[in-house]
Chain A
Amino acid sequence: GESVGLHLPTLSVQEGDNSIINCAYSNSASDYFIWYKQESGKGPQFIIDIRSNMDKRQGQRVTVLLNKTVKHLSLQIAATQPGDSAVYFCAENASGTYKYIFGTGTRLKVLA
């Protein structure tokens, strides 16, 4: 059964399509950002990070975009697969601090 996130915003995409998950962060001093993936019954898993001196960073099938002007972060997943179904969280951190602020999360559902 679900351990978290039954009432989260949900994004449904067709298998093979691209997914875009958005996050508005809160602290203008934040300069380090992480995207996490959380599957049902598991802890959050690191996907990709970005520092504020960049506006784009690419991984394997994932891209993170950072817009500091509007304090917006997005995660793009190319060719979405059924295994991508999960809850995705963004997290922000300000240099020199140890506290992270986590977003509520978005549930991604991949339709076959």
Chain B
Amino acid sequence: GAGVSQSPSNKVTEKGKDVELRCDPISGHTALYWYRQRLGQGLEFLIYFQGNSAPDKSGLPSDRFSAERTGESVSTLTIQRTQQEDSAVYLCASSFGLGSDTQYFGPGTRLTVL
């Protein structure tokens, strides 16, 4: 089947606007991760979904960030009242969720806040 897909690929928004980013994981993958990648830096964990369990939101940087997941499928990451420091690539990954197993990444959404 297809890999992890994300949309949009690029998003330019004005400071103060809300944005919504979408991730479609690989079919059958119960685990889904969101990461943020700032220019020149590594991946910063944001949130983790596993099946119907409560998500681990410990990586969300502020209450402006939230994420939802419908069952074991699509996830959306929402950033409210965007700030310039939110500019980054937002990556989604999925895995079978059986513990230490390989995460497969989507192409990312590049967010630019003007």
Contact = CB atoms under 8 A, between A and B. Distances in A.
Interface of A: 3-8, 31-32, 34, 36, 41-46, 49, 51, 89, 91, 93-100, 102-105
Contacts of B107: 41-43
A2 to B, nearest CB: 8
Given A7-B39, A32-B100, A46-B102, A99 B108 contact: no
A44 B42 CA distance: 11
Given A4-B89, A41-B107, A99-B56, 19 more contacts: A4-B41, A5-B39, A6-B39, A6-B40, A34-B103, A42-B108, A43-B91, A43-B93, A44-B91, A46-B104, A49-B102, A94-B100, A95-B100, A96-B99, A100-B45, A102-B35, A102-B42, A103-B42, A104-B41
B25 interface: no
Contacts of A31: 100
A88 B110 CA distance: 19
